[in-house]
A and B are shown apart, each in its own frame.
Chain A
Amino acid sequence: MDFTDIDFDQLFGSGGDTNPIMMLIWIIPIFIFVLYGQRIQLAVTSGEIKKGIKKLEDYKTKSRTELINYIKKNMNPVDDPTKKIDRFLDYFTIMPVDMDPNGIVGKVRHIVRAREDYTREHVKSLSPQTSELELTKIQTLLEIATTLQMIYKVINHMFLTAKKQNNYPLILPLQMILPFILEEAEAMHKAIPAFKMGQPIGDGIGPMVVGKMMLNSNKESVAFQTVLGETQYEQRKLLLLKAEGPGSTVGRPGDAMETILSKNKPDIIIMVDAALKMEGEDSATIAQGFGAAIGGIGTERFQIEDIATKNNIPIFAIVIKQSVKEAITLMTKDIADKADNVRSQIYEMIQDNTKPGQTVLLIGVGNTMGVPQ
């Protein structure tokens, strides 16, 4: 057959006359995309989401294995803890009904604390001679593994439902949130070594700043896993509050404030905490502001705001900006280097907003892993 004399103009219909082959080449894909467009998009998107879910599954499995190995190595339990740990990993929390929001903060606090207390006691039962420091580490590792398991289950459920129904719109929200979920899951997975080694994490910058100021002061326990120190600065009384380090805990600053207020009424409150930076913002930048700088589920913040409002005490805040990953993994050099700067800003704030003879309550908010006082 001779292919040298093919007339391309005629074949592709550009010669002016309508070519039936060309018509088919254009029309068939249009029909395919009209009828099966969503299914094609579903297949393409599914591939990407599957890769993400595989990563989530890896994080879930590795965190569980690392937790079990850590418990076996550091707690020396009599029996194999695997079964018990698997049961802990499946625990869920049912939040209280919010149709009537009156009194909901107390209910949330009760449920969250009951869960914490229950987990602590049951982890301790694996090996009762385990130190408090090890217990707090294991409790945090368990929290990480539980969260990663829950994330995997929810995302996998959403994906399988969309696939089962062949429903493209159902997979769209999943495609949109997956990068953010993966970022958080990766951060949690990378946080495991720091907690195992007992190293300070980015979120610990508040306790680190206040902890150093507490070093030579008299300290007392004022609430569960929360310590108070007292010192003087330029004729002002400084009450220094932080979670009890070097264990992995955030303490109970709300309860601690209630105890403090029953004896001493501070003239101002200063809270130092890590805060999430926005995209484009530099890491480890320091910002000052007003209001209770404390994260979490909101119960501690509610309690602190409530006490401050009833007693008419202004709250000042100093935050150190960082990403999610920086907040829960080993503290970066940039953040650690800012500790002295934060301390000098605190002293400046005290001088600007109080008079000699007044009392300042300084709270170092955050997880105090690897940060004693």
Chain B
Amino acid sequence: MIFSKEKIVLEYTIEKCKKCNLERKRKFHEGDILFSETSKCDSCDGLTMIEKIFGEYVEK
């Protein structure tokens, strides 16, 4: 289409704390794997697990 803008995909990772269920959205880093434990939770001493990895399409 002449007037449609090109779309780019932004990659995100959602981390969820196994203890307090707090979710944190951040940019995807190479090596992120679903269900792997990544870091300590910001609000409690629990460990976070990668819950989702997805892409969001935005117009350029």
Interface, chain A (partner B; CB < 8 A): 197-200, 208, 211-212, 215, 246, 329-333, 335-337, 339, 370-373
Cross-chain contact of B54 among A330, A372, A373 (Cβ < 8 A) = A330
Q: In the bound complex, what is the Cα–Cα distance between A83 and B30 (angstroms)?
A: 30
Contact status A332-B55, CB under 8 Å:
yes
Which residues of B lie under 8 Å from residue A333 when comparing CB positions?
A: 12, 54-56
Chain A, residue nearest B31 (CB): A198
Q: In the bound complex, what is the Cα–Cα distance between A330 and B54 (angstroms)?
A: 6
Chain A, residue nearest B13 (CB): A199
Q: 23 A-B residue contacts at CB 8 Å?
A: A197-B11, A197-B30, A198-B33, A199-B28, A199-B53, A199-B55, A200-B34, A200-B53, A208-B34, A246-B34, A330-B53, A331-B52, A331-B53, A331-B55, A332-B56, A333-B55, A335-B54, A336-B14, A336-B52, A336-B53, A339-B52, A370-B53, A373-B35
Contact status A332-B34, CB under 8 Å:
no
Q: Which of B12, B28, B55, B56 lies at the interface centre, i.e. has the most chain A CB atoms within 10 A of its CB?
A: B55
How near does chain B come to A336, taking the closest CB pair, in angstroms? 4
Q: Is B22 an interface residue when CB atoms closer than 8 A count as contact? A: no
Interface size on B, residues (CB 8 A): 16
Cross-chain contact of B35 among A212, A329, A332, A336 (Cβ < 8 A) = A212
Where chain B touches its partner, the secondary structure class is strand
Q: In the bound complex, what is the Cα–Cα distance between A211 and B52 (angstroms)?
A: 12
Q: In the bound complex, what is the Cα–Cα distance between A246 and B57 (angstroms)?
A: 24
Where chain A touches its partner, the secondary structure class is loop
Q: In the bound complex, what is the Cα–Cα distance between A246 and B54 (angstroms)?
A: 15
Chain B, residue nearest A204 (CB): B34
Interface, chain B (partner A; CB < 8 A): 9, 11-12, 14, 28, 30, 33-36, 52-57
Which residues of A lie under 8 Å from residue B54 when comparing CB positions?
A: 200, 330-333, 335-336
Supposing A197-B30, A246-B34 touch, asked if A332 and B57 sit within 8 A by C-beta, the answer is yes
Q: Which 4 A-B pairs have the closest CB atoms?
A: A330-B55, A336-B54, A336-B52, A333-B54
Q: Which of A199, A211, A215 lies at the interface centre, i.e. has the most chain B CB atoms within 10 A of its CB?
A: A199
How near does chain A come to B53, taking the closest CB pair, in angstroms? 6
Q: In the bound complex, what is the Cα–Cα distance between A362 and B4 (angstroms)?
A: 42
Which residues of A lie under 8 Å from residue B33 when comparing CB positions?
A: 198, 246, 370, 372
Which residues of A lie under 8 Å from residue B52 when comparing CB positions?
A: 331, 336-337, 339
Cross-chain contact of B34 among A197, A330, A372 (Cβ < 8 A) = A372
Which residues of B lie under 8 Å from residue A339 when comparing CB positions?
A: 52
Contact status B11-A330, CB under 8 Å:
yes
How near does chain B come to A35, taking the closest CB pair, in angstroms? 34
Which residues of A lie under 8 Å from residue B30 when comparing CB positions?
A: 197
Chain B, residue nearest A246 (CB): B33
Q: In the bound complex, what is the Cα–Cα distance between A332 and B57 (angstroms)?
A: 8
Which residues of B lie under 8 Å from residue A330 when comparing CB positions?
A: 9, 11, 53-55
Q: In the bound complex, what is the Cα–Cα distance between A154 and B46 (angstroms)?
A: 56
Q: Which of A197, A208, A335 lies at the interface centre, i.e. has the most chain B CB atoms within 10 A of its CB?
A: A197
Contact status B55-A329, CB under 8 Å:
yes
How near does chain B come to A330, taking the closest CB pair, in angstroms? 4
How near does chain A come to B16, taking the closest CB pair, in angstroms? 11
Which residues of A lie under 8 Å from residue B12 when comparing CB positions?
A: 333
Contact status A372-B35, CB under 8 Å:
yes
Which residues of B lie under 8 Å from residue A208 when comparing CB positions?
A: 34
